[in-house]
Structure 1
Amino acid sequence: MGEENKAKKAHVLIVPYPAQGHINPIVQFAKRLVSKDVKATLVTTVFLSKSTFSDLTSSVDLQTISDGFDEGGYDQAGSADVYLQTFWSVGPKSLATLIKKLVDAGHPIHGLVYDGFLPWALDVAKQFGIRSAVFFTQSCAVNSVYYHVSRGLLQLPLQGSNVISLPGLPPLEFSELPSFVFRHGSYPAWLDVVVNQFSNVDEADWVFFNIFYELEKEAVDWMSKFWKVMTVGPTVPSLYLDGRLENDKDYGMNLFKPSTSACMSWLNGKPKSSVVYVSFGSFASLGVEQMAELAWALKGCNCYFLWVVKESEEAKLPGNFIEETAEKGLVVTWCPQLEVLSHESTGCFLTHCGFNSVLEALSLGVPMLAMPQWTDQGTNAKHVEDVWGIGIRARPDEKLGLVTREIIEQCIKELTEGEKSKEIKKNAIKWKNLAKKAVDEGGSSDKNINEFVAKLVCD
């Protein structure tokens, strides 16, 4: 009987786009599959396999493909255009070679879960007759906008009134749309990537979203009319949600090395809910003027703050800022974000609203101060404030084109002690409980993952 079960064990290939914000959720999804007795093989690029700070459990296998830049990855390419063109040319052949190698070695593949940014992975899966699921790392709302653009239902550049209405979404001002759409022509290579996610999506067997149903149920219901949609999130390490995966407290692959001991020992000495945690993620970059406004706001509000400033951004800090704020603040180049957000000293999260950061804060019940920069972040910030009620937005001064220190200080005060703060904290706890419920045994996301696994084994 044991051998028969072993023979039926499903093997799923997991293919993320090689960036931190895309790797984290799909790696976590792979761990969920392993907990359901599925063999999961994560496919990363040759360069990232050599350059990441990896602490993946042995339960998830690792394999590599080439993006055409095995020695330097994205930075070696020098531009998005060159990187994407090369990866899109080299990647499909490299993935096909890997699949052949695994099959020949006696490891047949029953399913392929690929990042929406890599639609060519679906074409490769079709060549081998492998069932496939597209995994969207961004929200349903954001992807609905991109879908409408891809089908010509939303024409670019935008024209007419300043507000659009799309099925299952709240009315969105132009500035609340993803920046690639709102600022048409700003990043043409990336607009092509996000729109082309839908070039062959109708051929995918499943469409996965890294959310739970209650979070965007109207959008999910609308998309379910034409795709087999499954919500499988939030894909946050189990320790912070249901606790069913043993010792699962980190995603396991870091492109940056966190200053864990420095951050945690500093937080341990601070009063409960007293610290403003500030991070703009792995990709967003602030201008020098905006950096200065944020710095002086943190100094001016006289609160405790923990600020993640990547090494590439450190030169933008005002002179002597770190020394002048040493009594109240800690500046690090990277930190263990989940541990920081779950620490009792953390009171709020000043964030760019990358979707992973939003889901992490939501799952841990931390109120957010949204300062979106580009891509999907404006749409996420709209939902944080107006749909989910778990934060507020710090809006740019229209004339200056940046968020001033006065606005940031005012928002921090409002979020921590203003009239709205009680309601926001209450909403944050509500969504935290719903996120946990979704991944608990029998929750909406857990049921969907079980259904996916059962289908693979049956077929």
Structure 2
Amino acid sequence: MAQENKARKAHVLIVPYPAQGHINPMFQFGKRLVAKGVKVTLVTTVFLSKSSTFSDPTSSFDIQAISDGFDEGGYDQAGSADAYVRTFWSVGSKSLESLIKKLADSGHPVDALVYDGFLPWALDLAKQFGMLSAVFFTQLCAVNSVYYHVNRGLLQLPLPGTNVSLPGLPLLEVSELPSYVALYGSYPTWFDVLVNQFSNVDGADWVFFNIFYELEKEVVDWMSKFWKVMTVGPTLPSMYLDKRLENDEDYGINLFKPKTGICMSWLSGKPKGSVVYVSFGSMAEVDVEQMREVAWGLKGSNYYFLWVVRESEEAKLPKDFIEETWEKGLVVSWCPQLEVLSHESIGCFLTHCGLNSVIEALCLGVPMVTMPQWSDQSTNAKHVEDVWGFGVRARPDDEKGFVRREIVDHCIRELMEGEKGIEAKKNAIKWKNMAKEAIDEGGSSDKNIDQFVIELSNQVFQF
């Protein structure tokens, strides 16, 4: 039996929540495992497998689909967050169970399950089938610490004060907490999903975080007291970091079709450090009035700008804005963000501050103007400005909660030409070098991935 085991590779099933910001980092982590001799299967949903483009240069990376209950339209078909979560949590569990059995029957039994923190029910399946388990968190440790404290009753809601002090974290104003906690009751379904990530986390064999140790070492050290924590990031394609994974030039999944040629051609005609790149990600829905303020703030700054506005958001742009700014700006529905951020013409990044965008900018040495919208983004923005020092926050007014055009203009100028911009650029380069060192051979994240592979192999192939 031991000889038969030795003849095959350890097999890891990776199960992300079906959204681009969750799939990308877990997919990249899987590529690292493949490069270290592990067989990996990525699980997506039936709808995404039909509607998205998946590509990977490694021949041993398999992709399988399970049902979320909405095979023809995914999340949009559900009609509400509550309907989607209830159905996916029920149907997805049964569908994943069937997949695990199918893989075993076909001679590819699963040895370990790496599952998204959003999907705690996956741990129950790992236990049921006697597999090793690792929960993968796609948000900052700081953010996860907040949700952990809420889950364990250590942070009472609604919050009684104006500040929150937690182990290993900077002092946080209520407005700097994740929106589901700061605005308690505002998004009950997603609040439950995020807090319930910690309902059974103590039963996982490993706890993975999509950061590198040096980025949040105080809170990582605190969490390591009660879980087997491993920081495994940054999870960017290898060509942007250590270049050890051949042909690893992009994430390998696109839920939106990027306007690659248009963007890169336009950027190539602009001077070094002269362009403001603007994107609010794949999910944030910006208010019409806020969209208008950003637009006129960009125009007022008089810098070149490349602005990603999803097709579903285009109608919110001010009338004639594109025509009036054609000499300075380019508006596209989607772009290859990594290629854009690594282009020498980019001077700063105006962003909603989703963690993937933050990590990408950090790894590529691009200073940020942060304009958080919801979820974990306010906590991320706090870290970008006050902890890591490579950006500025564009703060909303007190009356309506919108960031006004004058603030947008001011923040852009601060980073592009002011004293704060010089310091932010210096810190951005520092963190860029530290990120690369973390994933380089022998770096903190690379050591953790090696350790996981060794422990996995030892337990799977023990005599």
**Alignment correspondent of 1:164:** 164
Structure 1 segment 401-440 matched on structure 2, within 5 A: 401-440=401-440
Q: Give the partner amino acid of 2:47.
A: F
Secondary structure in 2 aligned to 1:420?
helix
Match for residue 127 of structure 1? 128
- Counterpart residue number, 1:142: 143
Counterpart of 1:77 in structure 2 is: 78
Identity in percent = 77
Cα distance in 2 for partners of 1:205, 1:414 equals 46
Q: Is the 8 Å Cα contact of residues 115 and 136 (structure 1) preserved in structure 2?
A: yes
User: How far does the alpha carbon of each residue in 1:17-69 deviate from its partner, in whole angstroms, 9 at most, with x for none?
Assistant: 00010001000000000000110000000000000022233331000111000
Secondary structure at 2:155's aligned position in 1? Answer: coil
Is 1:360 the counterpart of 2:350? The answer is no
Q: For 2:399 and 2:96, how far apart are their aligned partners in 1?
A: 49
Instruction: Tell which deviates more after alignment, 382-391 or 393-402.
Output: 393-402
Query: What residue in structure 2 maps to residue 240 of structure 1?
Result: 240
Question: Are 1:455 and 2:446 matched, yes or no?
Answer: no
CA distance in 1, matches of 2:54, 2:421: 38
- Compute the displacement of 1:8 (Å): 4.3
Instruction: Tell me how far apart the structure 2 counterparts of residues 204 and 25 of structure 1 sit (CA, whole Å).
Output: 19
- In the TM superposition, residue 400 of structure 1 has moved relative to its aligned partner by 2.9
304 and 419 in structure 1: CA distance in 2 versus 1, 3 angstrom threshold: same
Q: Paired residues, what number?
A: 456
Q: Aligned residue for 2:65? A: 64
Deviations 1:172-220 (A, max 9, x none): 0000000000001110000000000000000000000000000000000
Mapped partners of 1:245, 1:6: distance in 2: 25
Letter in 1 for 2:224: S
Contact 1:294 1:404 in 2 (8 A): yes
Aligned equivalents of 1:232, 1:173: Cα separation in 2: 29
Amino acid at match of 1:248: D
1:362 and 1:78 mapped to 2: Cα distance?
36
Partner Cα distance (1:422, 1:349) in 2:
15
Q: Which residue of 2 aligns with 1:188?
A: 188
- Does the 8 Å CA contact 1:211/1:233 hold for their aligned counterparts? yes
Counterpart in the other structure of 2:375: 375
| 1:89 paired residue number | 90
- Which residue pairs with 2:390 in the alignment? 390
Separation of aligned partners in 2, 1:29 and 1:64: 19
CA distance in 1, matches of 2:5, 2:266: 50
Structure 2 unmatched runs, 5+: none
Q: Name the SS for the 1:40 alignment partner.
A: strand
Match of 2:343 in 1: 343
Q: Does the 8 Å CA contact 1:53/1:257 hold for their aligned counterparts?
A: no
- AA matched with 1:177: L
| Aligned residue number for residue 19 of structure 2 | 19
| Distance in 2 between residues matched to 1:93 and 1:4, nearest whole Å | 30
| In structure 2, C-alpha distance between the alignment counterparts of 1:181 and 1:78, rounded to whole Å | 24
Query: Helix, strand or coil for the counterpart of 2:167?
Result: coil
Letter in 1 for 2:381: A
CA deviation digits over 1:315-356, x for unaligned, max 9? 000111111111110000000000000000011000100000
- Which letter does structure 2 place at the counterpart of 1:119? P
CA contact (8 A) 1:348 1:367 kept: yes
- Structure 2 SS opposite 1:93: helix
CA separation of 1:5/1:348 partners in 2, compared to 1, >3 Å: closer, same or farther?
A: farther
SS at match of 1:357: helix
Q: Deviations along 1:358-394, whole A, 9 cap, x unmatched? A: 0000000000000000000000000000000010000
1:323 partner SS: helix
- Name the structure 1 match of 2:282: 282
Give the alignment's TM-score, normalised by structure 2: 0.97
2:252 is aligned to 252
1:110 Cα deviation from its structure 2 partner: 1.2
**1:104 alignment partner in structure 2:** 105
Residue 108 of structure 1, CA deviation: 1.3
Cα distance in 2 between the residues matched to 1:208 and 1:34: 17
Give CA deviations for 1:85-144 in whole Å, capped at 9, x if unaligned: 000111111111100000011001111100000000000110000000000000000000
- Structure 2 equivalent of residue 294 of structure 1: 294
- Contact 1:274/1:345 (<8 A) preserved: yes
Contact 1:10 1:456 in 2 (8 A): yes
Q: Aligned with 2:403: secondary structure?
A: coil
User: Matches of 1:217 and 1:401 in 2, distance apart?
Assistant: 33
Give me the whole-angstrom Cα distance separating, in 1, the residues matched to 2:30 and 2:416.
37
Give the aligned residue type for 1:416: M
Q: In 2, distance between residues paired with 1:213 and 1:449? A: 13
Counterpart of 2:445, as a letter, is S
Q: Please give the per-residue CA displacement for 1:131-182, whole angstroms capped at 9, x wherever unaligned.
A: 00000000000000000000010011111x3111000000000000000000
Partner amino acid, structure 1, of 2:335: C
CA distance in 1, matches of 2:78, 2:132: 32
Tell me the distance in 2 between the aligned counterparts of 1:346 and 1:99: 45
Q: Name the amino acid aligned to 2:158.
A: P
The separation in 2 between residues aligned to 1:118 and 1:8, in whole angstroms, is: 28
Answer yes or no: is the 8 Å Cα contact 1:31–1:59 preserved in 2. Answer: no
Find the aligned partners of 1:235 and 1:305 in 2 and give their Cα distance.
Answer: 27
RMSD: 0.9
**Cα separation, 2, equivalents of 1:5 and 1:128:** 17
* 1:197 counterpart SS class: helix
1:333 aligns with 2:322: no
Give 2:204's aligned residue.
204
* 1:401 CA drift (Å): 1.4
Task: Determine the C-alpha separation between the residues in 1 that align with 2:247 and 2:324.
Answer: 39
Q: Cα deviations across residues 270-327 of structure 1 (Å, max 9, x unaligned)?
A: 0001000000000001000000000011111111000000000000001111111111
Q: Distance in 1 between matches of 2:138 and 2:333?
A: 25
Task: Tell me if the contact between 1:8 and 1:457 (Cα under 8 Å) persists in the aligned partners.
Answer: no
State the distance in 2 between where 1:242 and 1:44 align. 27
**One-letter code aligned to 1:71:** E
Determine the C-alpha separation between the residues in 1 that align with 2:310 and 2:198: 33
In 2, the alpha carbon distance for the partners of 1:421 and 1:104 equals 58
> Which residue pairs with 1:154 in the alignment?
155
Alignment of 1:47-58 (within 5 A): 47-57=47-57, 58=59
CA–CA distance in 2 between the matches of 1:384 and 1:95?
37
Name the CA shift for 1:300/1:169 in 2 (closer, same or farther; >3 Å).
Answer: same
2:306 corresponds to: 306
Q: TM-score, normalized by length of structure 1? A: 0.98
Q: Partners of 1:335 and 1:62 in 2: how far apart?
A: 25
